[in-house]
């Protein structure tokens, strides 16, 4: 028969083994739980990092596209400004050329014929209306003694003539500046078309 000390010793060993097993199991569970928490935390940090990288990349792409769009807009503005400068220069050259042309004998002969034709047309439509003929001061002598009431045309018109009703209620504009203005769109269209064909 076992004595009491042996029984206590056996009992202690049983409890110790049970507690040891329980502690071991709790330790393993804690290790497993901590390992899972660590993996979850790592995954969360990795997802957060990747999300941050994606956002930074998206922002960088947005800024890059914004800068490219701005550069394109600036280039386009510069191009259109250049085209407008070319058109303005072309018009200025045309005005200079027209001014030179108005001093030619060819211009003076055409002016006389043009005035006569338009004046006769208007008088045929309404013989009761009387007109002033406005031409450059240089051209007034062409119409002296030919039945016209002649006045000076302001320099801004370059050349050509105006037929203005003597009651000042209306006028017909046959000036060179008006003709140039009428062709503004066509001139611009042709110039831009030439520029675009050069670019191609």
Q: Comparing C-alpha atoms, which of 66, 103, 91 is closest to residue 191?
A: 91
How does pLDDT run along the chain (200 residues), one tens digit per residue?
457 777 677 777 777 777 777 778 888 888 888 888 888 888 888 888 888 889 888 888 889 899 899 988 988 888 888 888 888 888 889 899 999 999 999 999 999 999 999 999 999 999 999 999 999 999 999 998 888 999 999 989 999 999 999 998 999 999 999 998 888 888 888 877 877 776 65
Please, are residues 177 and 157 in contact by the beta-carbon 8 Å criterion? yes
CA dihedral (91, 92, 97, 100) positive or negative? positive
Residue 40: the pLDDT is 84
- Prediction pTM value: 0.61
pLDDT of residue 118: 95
**Pair 150, 133: CB distance under 8 Å:** yes
């Amino acid at each position: 028969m076992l004595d009491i000390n042996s029984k206590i010793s056996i009992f202690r060993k049983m409890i110790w083994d049970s507690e040891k097993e329980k502690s071991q199991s709790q330790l393993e569970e804690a290790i497993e739980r901590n390992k899972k928490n660590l993996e979850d935390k790592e995954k969360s940090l990795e997802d957060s990092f990747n999300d941050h990288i994606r956002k930074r990349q998206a922002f960088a792409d947005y800024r890059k596209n914004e800068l490219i769009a701005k550069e394109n807009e600036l280039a386009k503005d510069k191009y259109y400004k250049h085209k407008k400068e070319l058109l303005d220069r072309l018009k200025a050259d045309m005005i200079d050329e027209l001014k030179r042309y108005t001093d030619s004998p060819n211009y003076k002969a055409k002016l006389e014929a043009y005035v006569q034709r338009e004046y006769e047309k208007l008088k045929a439509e309404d013989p009761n209306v009387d007109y002033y003929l406005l031409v450059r001061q240089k051209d007034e002598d062409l119409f002296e003694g030919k039945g016209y009431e002649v006045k000076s045309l302001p320099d801004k018109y370059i050349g050509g003539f105006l037929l203005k009703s003597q009651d000042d209620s209306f006028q017909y504009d046959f000036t060179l500046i008006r003709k140039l203005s009428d062709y503004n769109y066509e001139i611009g269209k042709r110039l831009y078309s030439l520029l675009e064909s050069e670019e191609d």
